[in-house]
Structure 1
Amino acid sequence: MTKPIVNGTSSVVLRASTPELLRSAVTFYQEFAHLTIKSETKTNVILSSGQKFPENSTNIEIALDEKYTQPDVTLLKQGQTSLDWRSISSAVVFKATSLVDLYAYVKAREDVISFQVYPSELAPIELYIIDPLNYIVGFTSVTHPLSRKPKIVSPKLDAPISTPPSAASESTTPALIEASGSTASPVKRNIAVLTSGGDSPGMNCNVRAVVRAALYR
Structure 2
Amino acid sequence: MRVVVVGGGSWGTAFSRVLANREHEVTLACRDAEQAGTIAATGRNPRYLTHTDLSGVNATAIEEAPFASAELIVLALPSAVYANVVPELPGTAPVLSLTKGLDPATGERLSTLVQGRPVAILSGPNIAEEVSRDLPAAAVIASDDRQLALRLQEAINSVTFRVYVNEDVVGVELCAAAKNVIALAAGGADGLGLGDNAKAALVARGLAE
| TM-score past 0.5 threshold | no
More helix by share: 2
Larger Rg: 1
TM-score (norm 1): 0.26
TM-score (norm 2): 0.27
